Amino acid sequence: MRRFEGYAAMVTGAGRGIGESVARRLAAEGARVLVTDVDAARAEEAAAGVCAAGGEALAHPADVTSRPSVEAAVRCAVDRFGRLDVLVNNAYATHEEAPRLEDEDDEGWQRDLDTTLTGAFRCCRAALPHLAAAGGRGSVVNIGSVNGIQDFGGHAYSAAKAGLASLTRTLAGQAAARGVRVNLVAPGTVATPAWEDRGTDLERAARAYPLGRVGRPEDVAAAVAYLASSDAAWVTGVTLPVDGGVLIANSELRRALAGQ
């Protein structure tokens, strides 16, 4: 199935993990993909991987905390592909917080929000005129998190992801008249390189998931491909959890009631 034949897409934070998997999935279905990342070497490597798998991709360094950098990336996509149909906002930042909120400084909080939330805003602002010119197939898919819906820890990260869900709804309402859909995927725990130095954390986390495992980047990429495609032509403004059922589970309470 090649739902994106003739489409052009831009994916932020696509040097590895979820973003790289999204780029691979869109390209496998026919899209020409601009692989962007603040780490230029990672972007090049990911784009090369897409091409090696038979897709079409181009790497471009992009720092979503910089308006000129974002606008240059969008121009690159339009100049090289002749159009822009899909924007996937995956870039994010998170920092190790102090144990108590009152001991937090402003820098980490600001960096997380500036990358995750304001960065997505910058990308949407730059891309919207081109998405609106895409003949009704323009689509934004934001990568949120279950942290933006429920308490899983992380004040700044969670606030940024919750803000991104709100931006999804408000922008969807405004952009619909221009033929652009805006949706959000909210993953649970996903086995990405960000977990490489976390020991057995993923194994322990898997026990909290009703489906018995943590997510894979491909799980999220499949949901992104659906929301970006014409299969979701009448879907906008939604938050789609891709979370192994964790949002409907309360494992700790179940264990407590069972006397475990």
pLDDT at 245: 95
Q: Taking the C-alpha atoms of 102, 106, 112 and 114 in order, what is their torsion angle to the nearest 10 degrees?
A: 140
User: Which string of b and e fits 190-225 if b means at least 16 CB within 10 Å?
Assistant: bbbeeeeeeeeebeebbebbeeeebbebebbbebbb
Q: 69-125 pLDDT, tens per residue?
A: 999 999 999 999 999 999 999 999 999 899 999 999 999 999 999 999 999 999 999
Residues 6+ apart with CB under 8 A from 67: 122, 126
Active site residue 209: no
Q: How many other C-beta atoms lie within 10 A of the C-beta of residue 166? A: 13
Q: What is the C-alpha separation between 224 and 143, in angstroms, rounded?
A: 8
Classified by CATH at the fold level, domain 8-257 comes out as Rossmann fold (3.40.50)
Active site residue 157: yes
Q: 138-197 pLDDT, tens per residue?
A: 999 999 999 999 999 999 999 999 999 999 999 999 999 999 999 999 999 999 998 888
Cα angle 114, 167, 135 (rounded to 5 degrees) comes to 115
Least confident of 56-70, 130-144, 165-179, 192-206: 192-206
Give 54's DSSP letter.
T
pTM of the model: 0.95
pLDDT at 13 over 80: yes
Which residue do the tokens 């820890």 mark? Answer: 153
DSSP H/E element including 239:
strand 239-242
pLDDT-based confidence at 56, cuts 50/70/90? Answer: very high
DSSP string, 116-180: IIIHHHHHHHHHHHHHHTSTT-EEEEEE--GGGTS--S-HHHHHHHHHHHHHHHHHHHHHGGGTE
pLDDT-based confidence at 260, cuts 50/70/90? Answer: low
Q: What is the C-alpha separation between 11 and 31, in angstroms, rounded?
A: 11
Q: Which of 7, 157, 209, 226 is catalytic?
A: 157
pLDDT at 128 over 90: yes
Cα angle 35, 38, 41 (rounded to 5 degrees) comes to 70
Strand 56-61 and strand 86-89: pairing? unpaired
Query: What are the φ and ψ backbone dihedral angles of 95, each rounded to 5 degrees?
Result: -130, 160
Q: Which of 7, 92, 161, 209 is catalytic?
A: 161
